[in-house]
Structure 1
Amino acid sequence: MEVYLGNEDTVLESIENIPFDSEEDIEEMLYKNKTLMGDQYPFTRQAQSGDRKHIPDILAVDDNGTIYVVEIKNARPKGEEVLMQALRYVHWIKKNPAEIKMIWIERKNEQDEDTIFPEPDWNSIDVGIMFVAPVFDPQFVEIVRGSLSIPIKFLTVKKYRVGEKEIIITDRFDRMETTSDERGLPTFKAEYSWKTYLETVTDEKGIESAKKLFEQTQKVLEDIGLNWLKVRFNKYYIAFKNGGRNVLELYFTPKGVAGLSFHLPMAPPKMKLNLPEEVIHRSSWNEDYKIVYIPVVDIGVSVEELIPLFTEAKKYRT
């Protein structure tokens, strides 16, 4: 099958599927372009245990603090050996959470204090697997799905050439996320809500201000035509999602105070947006994830004054 891409002048260009050079090529691309993995945030690559026998390609953490072993193949994964290799990494992490915690803390310390960087429950660590490959054999997927009761995700990554440009296309499909109890029986992961936030991340005053900020955010989203975004309560923040991509979040700082974060192509000062000076000075930008964090409650700014950020996030993520 041949595929062509048309431009404004209806001139067709051939789209050529080209292979990656190696698994390391895929690994480097995913680690440098962290949004390609969706809600999984890679925080280290080629992590080694003390005996240097366990070296997963990438370790990532998701919204709920689950650690993911990212197992990358540059061809169609086949056979139980791929599954067993990933499970050995999972076993290593569960047996050595202190080593992973040290790596996680080092990465965490590189972030600004307002940056969302979910922390696992180190006393009862949840571990899942993300398999990454250009294509998956249906039989392999069924074997994995039928064998495990831990969180499992599959990510296809393909590279195409259009003229002189290269295009990366990813597609993710997941199984229902579960964990297992001490008997090995599957149990569903906890749901998060205002109640769990009150119990774990903030107090009554923090919840009250966060709920008010949430309502104001929903009103602005409705005004600019984004009220169709899916709302998802996560362990440390509330995401407003377009499919698998976050457009913005209502987050809690380490002090339990609510703020808003927006996914943008570049830092707001470079975009020359019409924002209050206080917002520019008090915001923090994460270049890795292309997110700006606004401590809205601390600043005392109104959500309406942030409409330029809503608008740019809409352009960037929808």
Structure 2
Amino acid sequence: MAQIIAGDKFSIKEFPFEDEVHDLADFIVAHPEILGAEVTILARELQVPTAAGQKRIDFLAFDTENNQIDIVELKKAFADEKVLLQTLRYSNWIRNNPDTVRYHVKKEGVNINPEEIDTDSIKVIIVAPKISRTLAELCQYITAFDFEFIELQRFKDANDKVYAITDRLEVETIQPTPPTWQDTYDLSWYKQHAVRDQQISDLENAISALTGICDENAWDLRARYVKWSVRFQTTGGRNAFLIHVRKTQSHHLSFCLGEDFDLSKFPIPEKLKKSFHHKKGSRWWKTDLAVDELKSMVPLMEISYQNVMK
């Protein structure tokens, strides 16, 4: 990633993006972590038909942490309210054409069963050097989709070294009311959607055990059911650990331990250490869910909880 400026050691000047299609998009491809550590770019300049004619989505991406489809809209200068209608058209098309997402997930080799993708969960990510606060405030009333706003500025010093600064624009959010057509996710929903009885039993026992552990340790976490995961979240919606629900195989359990966590030095059984998988640059560490081993993982849960409470 391009470096963040600290102090005034070098004389730097603004190095604006020339256009969205090439300069800004190329910069995002070179530094995908701008979108998030768990976000994988699936397609670039994806052509979609809309009521306004043939348009293109700058990036179609997928967030493996939240099992969420991401639509990325780039602006080289100022992103104003005009962006809203444009991105809503894209989001609506993607929601009505879920096989497009499944195709690209499979094509890019993303580690998720395409049939377990929550096609109702879509987030629009707007990236621009400056974003209208009015746009951000309007978007909070669009309850069908999530929105994220990333202000990205680029600079260059006298030695042609490039720097970038990112800032996520925050606005006061409202609690959305689920639309009447949206499913309510719970154990019954999983059973109705081909999750085997043994997996249902394992999931129920795991949720009960994890809830008990949270209560015993006075962690302010609550279980939230979504389409194919159960997330133990803070009041603000940050995930400390989560269960990835699977239909026929062992569920997965992920912990927010941080990208630099050194599991080898942690005092848990070697068998558990060997069961973990970690993608470089990711905050998340994944293992197969085993209810009888959850007590041994409490120290990992503690670290995950502290990480999201910082």
> What TM-score results when the alignment is normalised by the length of structure 2?
0.69
* Distance in 2 of aligned mates of 1:55 and 1:33: 21
- Structure 1 partner of 2:57: 56
Per-residue CA shift, 1:97-120, capped at 9, x if unaligned?
54433212123x34277xx99514
Structure 2: runs of 5+ lacking an equivalent:
1-6, 18-23, 156-162
- Structure 2 partner of 1:10: none
* Distance in 1 of aligned mates of 2:55 and 2:265: 47
Greater shift, 24-33 or 272-281, is seen at 24-33
Cα contact 1:66–1:128 (8 A) shared by 2:
yes
Cα contact 2:254–2:286 (8 A) shared by 1:
yes
SS in 2 for 1:275: coil
Greater shift, 186-195 or 92-101, is seen at 92-101
- Structure 2 partner of 1:231: 223
* Distance in 2 of aligned mates of 1:19 and 1:248: 40
- Structure 2 partner of 1:247: 240
Cα contact 2:131–2:149 (8 A) shared by 1:
no
* Distance in 2 of aligned mates of 1:304 and 1:160: 47
- Structure 2 partner of 1:31: 32
Deviation of residue 238 (structure 1)?
A: 0.8
* Distance in 1 of aligned mates of 2:214 and 2:143: 37
**Count of aligned residue pairs for this structure pair:** 284
Greater shift, 266-275 or 203-212, is seen at 266-275
Structure 1: runs of 5+ lacking an equivalent:
1-12, 180-185
Deviation of residue 71 (structure 1)?
A: 1.3
Note if 1:283 corresponds to 2:276. yes
SS in 2 for 1:232: strand
**1:241/1:276 Cα in 2 relative to 1: closer, same or farther (>3 Å)?**
same
Deviation of residue 236 (structure 1)?
A: 0.8
Note if 1:196 corresponds to 2:189. yes
Please report the RMSD computed on the Cα atoms of aligned residues, expressed in angstroms.
Answer: 4.3
**1:255/1:236 Cα in 2 relative to 1: closer, same or farther (>3 Å)?**
same
The aligned amino acid for 2:56 is I
* Distance in 2 of aligned mates of 1:247 and 1:149: 24
The aligned amino acid for 1:316 is N
Alignment partner for residue 126 of structure 2, among 122, 126, 131?
Answer: 131
* Distance in 1 of aligned mates of 2:115 and 2:97: 21
- Structure 1 partner of 2:304: 313
> What TM-score results when the alignment is normalised by the length of structure 1?
0.68
The aligned amino acid for 2:149 is L
Alignment partner for residue 294 of structure 2, among 284, 303, 308?
Answer: 303
Cα contact 1:153–1:172 (8 A) shared by 2:
no
- Identity %, equivalent residues: 18
The aligned amino acid for 1:72 is L
Alignment partner for residue 74 of structure 2, among 72, 75, 85?
Answer: 72
Deviation of residue 214 (structure 1)?
A: 1.3
The aligned amino acid for 1:290 is R
